[in-house]
Amino acid sequence: MSHNSFGHLFRVTTWGESHGPALGCVVDGCPPGLQLTPADIQVWLDRRKPGQGKFVTQRREPDEVKILSGVFEDAATDGPVTTGTPISLMIENLDQRSKDYADIATAFRPGHADWPYFAKYGVRDYRGSGRASARETAARVAAGAVARKIIDGVQVRAALVQIGPHAIDREAWDWDAVGENPFWSPDRGIVATWEEHLEAIRKAGSSTGAVVEVVATGVPAGWGAPIYGKVDAELASALMSINAAKGVEIGAGFASAALTGEENADEMRKGDDGPVFTSNQAGGVLGGLTTGQPVVARVAFKPTSSILTPRKTLNQAGEEIELRTIGRHDPCVGIRAVPVVEAMTACVLADAFLRHRAQTGGGAFHPGETERR
């Protein structure tokens, strides 16, 4: 069984290979009446776009999104709005250089999905990793833009908090800094260090891992579907499904193991607008439900497996070979994962909202919806 959909009520089905004619997604379950133009999606895609600096892949793709269905504009509406029918989004692949991949047509690159795809399917589109390419995440970012419309009182922002061994100074966190540097760093002080580190990595033909942190504010208490649709479990699945992800944690995460009960459990006080918490070790989730605090998660990304160093491996014939992966690659795949982490988080929360509304009649969240009914 293949499984190319995620979400339950806000349901996204993605399709497309790295070197096929196009890729895209179908977004099903979107509420009607939300304003949606290609520009609303493009702004997020542009953040993920390749070819934007020397530390990301040199593949040049405009990544221009087309909306093929699900919106309608007529005299009575102020610009195109969603109609409640499936939204089909398509992005054409333009800068394919399939010949780069001739060498690996019958070889299994170490750390790549080549071997298990072959073991599973007996056939694989080896060009740019085919379906296993991180290029698929463009479709996720497009879907995330629609998700944001549904929960527009929620702000979902991510940042890079570690590259290789160099973690940011959390005291220096400034969301304004994130857009000012090519690494989405919230700590201006670490930018020079990261630049130097990546330059060395790039020159060595090597690669490095990273950690991304995402924070969603404005999430009301009570979202999440116990026991197996918990918000944190859904986030864990969504974030772990991103290419190269190897770990996901919520709030204090793995550090929780070393805490005492007193340090860990966030105390509650009376606030002007519902409960306030004096800390957020929980990362905004208790019992799989949102608490009203910011939802906080972190994702660890492994180093890009495509490196210039020759590596021992096998080919399809089962012979032992050495392989050097040339082609256009990100030395630190975690950097371009930042908008993808945001998008997946937005999708999970939009889905959680719709599920919550189904069971509890929680009413409209998007102001535009309220007015309609």
- Confirm or deny that 185 is annotated as ligand binding: no
The mark string for 64-93 relative to a copy of itself (x by CB under 8 A, - otherwise) is: --x-xxx-x-x--x---x-xxxxxx-x---
Considering only 42, 181, 206, 280, the residue that binds a copy of itself (CB under 8 A) is 206
What sign has the CA pseudo-torsion 276, 282, 288, 290?
Answer: positive
CA–CA dist 338, 361 (Å, integer): 34
- Confirm or deny that 372 is annotated as ligand binding: no
Taking CB under 8 A as the rule, does residue 294 contact a copy of itself? no
Taking CB under 8 A as the rule, does residue 99 contact a copy of itself? no
Taking CB under 8 A as the rule, does residue 280 contact a copy of itself? no
Residues 6+ apart with CB under 8 A from 157: 175, 178, 214, 215, 216, 342
Q: Is the peptide bond before 91 cis (omega within 30 degrees of 0)?
A: no
Buried b (16+ CB within 10 A) or exposed e, 153-164: ebebbbbbbbbb
Contact (Cβ atoms closer than 8 angstroms) between residue 17 and residue 131: yes
Taking CB under 8 A as the rule, does residue 179 contact a copy of itself? no
Residues 116-135 binding a copy of itself (CB under 8 A) are 116-117, 119-126, 129-132
Considering only 57, 96, 290, 345, the residue that binds a copy of itself (CB under 8 A) is 290
- Which residue lies nearer to a copy of itself by CB, 191 or 314? 314
Type of residue found at 151 = I
Rounded to the nearest 5 degrees, what angle is found at the Cα of 347, between the Cα atoms of 343 and 351? 170
Residues 21-60 binding a copy of itself (CB under 8 A) are 21-24, 26, 28-33
- Confirm or deny that 133 is annotated as ligand binding: yes
- Confirm or deny that 304 is annotated as ligand binding: yes
Contact (Cβ atoms closer than 8 angstroms) between residue 329 and residue 57: yes
- Confirm or deny that 131 is annotated as ligand binding: yes
Q: What is the helix (H) or strand (E) element at residue 141, kind and residue range?
A: helix 137-150
Considering only 144, 186, 209, 339, the residue that binds a copy of itself (CB under 8 A) is 209
Contact (Cβ atoms closer than 8 angstroms) between residue 154 and residue 223: no
- Confirm or deny that 54 is annotated as ligand binding: yes
The mark string for 258-277 relative to a copy of itself (x by CB under 8 A, - otherwise) is: xxxxxxxxxxxxx----x--
Output the six-digit token pair for 274.
């519902």
Taking CB under 8 A as the rule, does residue 146 contact a copy of itself? no
Considering only 54, 175, 226, 326, the residue that binds a copy of itself (CB under 8 A) is 226
Considering only 36, 56, 113, 141, the residue that binds a copy of itself (CB under 8 A) is 113
